[in-house]
Amino acid sequence: MHQVDAWWRACNYLVAGQIYLQENPLLKRPLTPEDIKPRLLGHWGTSAGLGFIYAHLNRLIRHTGQDMIYIAGPGHGGPALVAAGYLEGTYTEIYPRVTRDEEGMRRLFRQFSTPGGIPSHASVTTPGSIHEGGELGYALSHGFGAVFDNPDLIAATVVGDGEAETGPAEGGWKGISFLNPVTDGAVLPILHLNGAKISGPTVQARKEPVELQELYEGHGYEVVWVEGSDLPWMHARFADALTYCYDRIKEIQAEARGGSWDGEMPAWPMIILRSPKGWTGPRIVDGNQVEGTWRAHQVPLAGVKTNAAHREQLEDWMRSYRIDELFGPDGTPTELVRANNPEGTKRMSASPYANGGVLSQELDLPDFHDYAVDVTPGTRATERLESTRKLGEYMRDIYTRNPTNFRLFCPDETNSNRLGAVFEVSDRTFMEPTDMLDVKLSNTGRVMEVLSEHNCHGWLDGYTLTGRHGMFATYEAFAMVSASMTMQQAKWLEGAYNLEWRAKVPSTNILLSSTCWRNDHNGFSHQSPELLSLVLNMRGTVSRIYLPPDANCLLDIADHCFKSRSYVNLIVQDKQPQPQWLSMPEAVEHCTRGYGIWDWAGTDGLGDTKPDIVIACAGDVVTMEAIAAAEILKVALPELKVRVVNVVDLMSLYRPKDHPHGMSVKDFSDTFTDDVDVIFAFHGYPGAIHQLVHGRPDADRFRARGFREQGTTTTPFDMVVRNKVDRYHLVMDAINNAHYRPEGSHELYQWCESQLVRHSEYIVENLQDMPEIRDWQLGDDASGAVTQFGGKQVAPRPGAGTVARRAGGKGTVAKAQAADTPAARGADVGDTGKQAQPGADAPSKKDADVKKGTDLKKDTGPKKK
């Protein structure tokens, strides 16, 4: 215990030094104002408790040889973990400048929470950490994710009593209901009741012990209590508690792995540690109680640079740790301190589990070509199937080939998202009792289903950060429940990007299905593409967004994502039956490039000829609308030159300097031209397209249509109509913005208006979409256009002056001289939210003005403030 106590005192000394000092690290002379940092940052309150636990875990590891990682839920106690790594020697091995001597200690102190130094939390720069703990609530889910399929690992997971008030933390305790004692490791939760948050008490610290006992027993734990602040007796009590918990874990695992387990969920041990906040720090400051109160949360002595009394109190505090017993004259930790360090990779700061990329093995992936949908030019989009079902078949065989290295995490939606083929080879994981009515549910299952996006995301994070592979699949709208976790994971990966010692880990793969466009049956609450916009704002070093239009593209993208490292891969693909556009060779070529001109969807024989209008699309549902719109234009206005572009890798729209996947200037020009208007049908919010093409030639020519928060319970087609990204609105946009407007544009515009009115009336009367929409196939009746306009011949183009062009490449559009002249570029239908009225005037034959009684209005894109 002398070694444990000395190690803990050394850790506390280093924590205080990191918060306060920039010089004089060994206190070889009295402190002066020049020794104090100009800005005092950090969190003392939780750090002493974190160091206390760490010191005792080291003792346990030395005696048992157990592989352990340390997860600090209250990650604002980061200086304690930095100090631990420094005492263990790992920190110096990774950062040789920070030597274990006086100069190294000075650098250790100066770098903490300073420009050019290290963050204040248990961040990615901290050896041994897989959990920053800045945003509270995820410690337990990360701990359980780390030990799934790691049977030899224990994750000692500290949960602060402030963190315990968060929703994710409350859900995190349910992890034992999914923890298999045969194939998984163990999580040892340590609930640290230090009594206070930033400015007040915590709920759980004020509860009667019996209430907490019953709460956590109800979750399935065996609760072990350690309380007090009396030393050295607290050391003895906590050591006994840790030994008991370790022995109990080993008993549970031995029984299960020895073949005598009856399948009943064991009562896993946990510790409730009640100790003072700011333990061993200043008790009274300026007459106010600090230790054991919220005042100890951050910097208990705030005025030490200018207040001599505070400076003296700081020096007395730091000397109370008896530094001569802890560090030699040159600053090297003494033998008494070093004796509490485990050896080699048994040190928690050097655990390979906490640098999971060094342990990671590549997935044994089946050939995704084997799951291809048969598509030929003659059968393109003639039938519909559920694209995600093919992904389920693919993951089924990934499960078979990777029985300990891959998991699907899904909040009770695996079958709903059409991924249920995985149940052909694995049950759902469940350790609670089952009955005869349960389906595909057992304690040997490996498909992770729990109705908590936080748990699913956190489990995946812990699983991948320790080197394994997986996917989080969820309803698109409810990905926002855990969206902040996605952002935090991206920040971690971004931080690791510049750390050579951090080995690359398998990517965080997220599938969004049941998307906003096809959650017509569940209503507005289930309709939100917001996560796409959030990921769009992440750094290009870690962010990837894919919108496969069909099953073959989805398979290619999934294969790519499962092979990738250290990215957040967002895949957006609905689960409902949808047209299949590309053969597998076409899909591979398309996805490899990330975008492409679909010649077969545009004007026949257009080739490299400059189009009059470009219709672009990104997303499965809007791709169908874009192609249907192009088909209408080909039938009704065959002389109009239409180009169709599909984008599957959304980041390809960025400039190369903004994202590594960005199209070159030439590729962008070859695809979208430099001056032809682009109607862009987009899965997400339209503003994202303007963000993506910012800085591209004449970016104002991009007119984006997408989700505009117009949702309800309605029909599938009405969802796109409400958001004005349906085929008829796209056709009207094309007429309004095309550089050339052939004869018949006026009639086509009116017909589209009438179709929208007919649609509105039809769905109210018949409770389903119109037949030409519901039964649409490529090459069929073109959404009714063949019936209306079929048999038209391609007319020769009129002479000079009939093509509307931008004056000088920008500004207004010249009026066309053809007999039928639709409204000038930018006129739009329905932006007021009103339905077009029967008989409403189409764009005037005389000029580009909007007639009274129509729903047309001037709209030249985003207004400048």
Q: How far is it, in rounded angstroms, from Cα 489 to Cα 458? A: 9
> What is the amino acid identity at position 760?
S
Identify the pLDDT of residue 156.
Answer: 99
Place of tokens 């748990």: 455
User: Residue 813 pairs with which residues in a beta bridge?
Assistant: 806
> What is the amino acid identity at position 304?
V
* Pick from 595, 681, 677: nearest CA to 640: 677
Residue 263, number of CB atoms within 10 A of its CB: 11
Q: Are 186 and 150 in contact (CB under 8 A)?
A: no
326 lies in the same domain as 463: no
- Is residue 364 domain-resident? no
Tokens in use for 783?
Answer: 């959404």
566 lies in the same domain as 652: no
With residue 285 as reference, give the H or E element that holds it. Answer: strand 284-285
pLDDT tens digit sequence for 565-607? 999 999 999 988 999 999 999 999 999 999 999 999 999 777 7
Residues whose CB falls within 8 Å of the CB of residue 67, separated by 6 or more in sequence, listed in order: 152, 153, 154, 346, 351, 353
- Is residue 266 domain-resident? yes
Q: What is the largest CA-CA distance in the chain?
A: 99
Chain-centre distance for alpha carbon 787:
47
610 lies in the same domain as 502: no
131 lies in the same domain as 265: yes
Specify the CATH number for the domain of residue 782.
3.40.50.920
Q: How far is it, in rounded angstroms, from Cα 416 to Cα 476? A: 13
- Grouping H, G, I as helix, E, B as strand and the rest as coil, residue 27 is coil
Q: Are 112 and 18 in contact (CB under 8 A)?
A: yes
Identify the DSSP state of 287: T
- Is residue 586 domain-resident? no
Q: How far is it, in rounded angstroms, from Cα 79 to Cα 298? A: 12
Helices (H), 97-138: 102-111
281 lies in the same domain as 321: yes
> What is the amino acid identity at position 408?
L
> Residue 616 — φ and ψ, nearest 5°?
-110, 160
Q: Are 842 and 822 in contact (CB under 8 A)?
A: yes
* Pick from 174, 272, 158: nearest CA to 223: 272
> Residue 292 — φ and ψ, nearest 5°?
85, 5
Of the three residues 780, 801, 822, the one that is the final residue of a domain is 801
- Grouping H, G, I as helix, E, B as strand and the rest as coil, residue 371 is helix
Q: Are 216 and 176 in contact (CB under 8 A)?
A: no
Q: How far is it, in rounded angstroms, from Cα 863 to Cα 865? A: 6
Domain extent for 766: 595-801
Chain-centre distance for alpha carbon 262:
38
- Is residue 547 domain-resident? yes
605 lies in the same domain as 556: no
449 lies in the same domain as 328: no
- Grouping H, G, I as helix, E, B as strand and the rest as coil, residue 386 is strand
User: Residue 268 pairs with which residues in a beta bridge?
Assistant: 221
Q: How far is it, in rounded angstroms, from Cα 402 to Cα 414? A: 19
Of the three residues 783, 801, 819, the one that is the final residue of a domain is 801
| Preceding peptide of 209 cis, ω within 30° | no
Place of tokens 């999580």: 187
For the chain, how many structural domains are there in total? 3
Identify the DSSP state of 541: T
Helix axes of 2-20 and 308-319: crossing angle, nearest 10 degrees: 160
125 lies in the same domain as 259: yes
Residues whose CB falls within 8 Å of the CB of residue 312, separated by 6 or more in sequence, listed in order: 31
> What is the amino acid identity at position 853?
G
- Is residue 835 domain-resident? no
Identify the pLDDT of residue 794.
Answer: 53
614 lies in the same domain as 544: no
Q: pTM here?
A: 0.90
With residue 129 as reference, give the H or E element that holds it. Answer: none
122 lies in the same domain as 75: yes
Q: How far is it, in rounded angstroms, from Cα 852 to Cα 695? A: 37
Tokens in use for 98?
Answer: 């920070």
- Is residue 845 domain-resident? no
Identify the pLDDT of residue 795.
Answer: 52
Beta-strand relationship, 642-647 and 577-579: unpaired
With residue 94 as reference, give the H or E element that holds it. Answer: helix 90-94
With residue 278 as reference, give the H or E element that holds it. Answer: none
- Is residue 861 domain-resident? no
Identify the pLDDT of residue 712.
Answer: 83
* Pick from 618, 828, 832, 620: nearest CA to 729: 828
Residue 312, number of CB atoms within 10 A of its CB: 13
Chain-centre distance for alpha carbon 323:
45
Q: Are 95 and 127 in contact (CB under 8 A)?
A: no
How big is the chain by its Cα radius of gyration, in Å? 32
Write the secondary structure of 617-632 as one string of H (helix), E (strand) and C (coil): EECHHHHHHHHHHHHH
Chain-centre distance for alpha carbon 58:
34
Tokens in use for 844?
Answer: 């005037």
Q: How far is it, in rounded angstroms, from Cα 648 to Cα 467? A: 28
Specify the CATH number for the domain of residue 76.
3.40.50.970
* Pick from 482, 557, 483, 479: nearest CA to 515: 479
Helix axes of 139-147 and 453-465: crossing angle, nearest 10 degrees: 50
Residue 117, number of CB atoms within 10 A of its CB: 15
- Is residue 846 domain-resident? no
Identify the pLDDT of residue 861.
Answer: 34
Which regions of the chain are under pLDDT 70?
520, 527, 791-865
∠ CA(494), CA(496), CA(500), 5° rounding? Answer: 135
476 lies in the same domain as 558: yes
* Pick from 128, 188, 177, 184: nearest CA to 152: 184
Q: How far is it, in rounded angstroms, from Cα 703 to Cα 504? A: 39
Q: How far is it, in rounded angstroms, from Cα 96 to Cα 82? A: 14
Chain-centre distance for alpha carbon 823:
43
Q: Are 375 and 347 in contact (CB under 8 A)?
A: no
- Kindly tell me the sign of the dihedral angle through the C-alpha atoms of 289, 72, 486, 567: positive
Tokens in use for 457?
Answer: 């995301």
Write the secondary structure of 807-818 as one string of H (helix), E (strand) and C (coil): HHHCCCECCCCC
Q: How far is it, in rounded angstroms, from Cα 194 to Cα 276? A: 5
101 lies in the same domain as 224: yes
Q: Are 563 and 362 in contact (CB under 8 A)?
A: yes
Burial of residue 107 (CB within 10 Å: 0-12, 13-18, 19+) is middle
